[in-house]
Amino acid sequence: MPKQPKPNGFIIVASQFYEYYEAAHLLIDSLLDYMPEANIALFAHDEWTKDDSRCEDLYMIHDVPKHVRAKLAALSKTPFDKTVYLDADTFVQHEDVSKMFDFDSDLVFTNIRPYAGKIAKFVGGEMVLHGGVFGYKSTPRVLEFMEDWWQYYHRQRKGTWWPEDIHPKEKLVSWDQFTLWWLTENEYSDLDISIYEDDARFNFVYIYKEDECKGPKVIWHYTLPLKEEADERSLHKK
């Protein structure tokens, strides 16, 4: 009997703070509003999900470690052929979310806007790939990369790994996007990486300039202190 192909789907992760778990369900509701057939894998603590009826119809539920970047531990465990990862503090507001699987590269990202972040350029390089929303294929090489992203970041935070001649370490050490930059520039420079067309549509961070998008916004990216405000704006801001 031929092996059944894996479906495409979304990964959402919530760890440490219960607010992330509630935000994840707001995201799931918004995603299903615009893509009712979406396959969703929720990675969250067992004590949150085991008696929660909201989880019953999800494609997969999986536990995660209590860690500030638990998402990195989840990425290599995707059950999907093509995966789109969405930060829990995002909100879907357009049907074009289904087009996020229309990529042929190994990974697809949106670009960081330097004016919207605490640090992008630094001595030794520049972070350009945003780690809050991205897609990837489940090839052996990509899954190996995802596992290393988690392992290198874990060592980075513990102080057991840091590349030479990169400064300022004290401002970069907490950033998983720094680990992403280093791995894709060095150990995994062979990966085929692309950027979503009109990329700000698919990861519109709340402090972005309005003229960043040519088309309607698909993914609204807020921060947890702005949760109520994001709910109010979610489906109405285009």
Q: Write out the CATH class of domain 9-138+192-233.
A: alpha beta
Instruction: Provide the residue ranges of all domains of the chain, joining segments of one domain with +.
Output: 9-138+192-233
Cβ contacts of residue 53 below 8 Å, gap of 6+? none
Omega cis (within 30) before 225 = no
Q: Are 12 and 27 in contact (CB under 8 A)?
A: yes
Concatenating the DSSP letter of every residue in 138-165 gives --HHHHHHHHHHHHHHHHHHHTS---TT
CA 25 – CA 36 distance, rounded (Å): 14
pTM of the model: 0.92
pLDDT score of 86: 98
Ordered per-residue pLDDT tens for the chain, 238 residues? 556 778 999 999 999 999 999 999 999 999 999 999 999 999 999 999 999 999 999 999 999 999 989 999 999 999 999 999 999 999 999 999 999 999 999 999 999 998 987 788 999 999 999 999 999 999 999 999 999 999 999 999 999 999 999 999 999 999 999 999 999 999 999 999 999 999 999 999 999 999 999 999 999 999 886 344 334 333 333 3
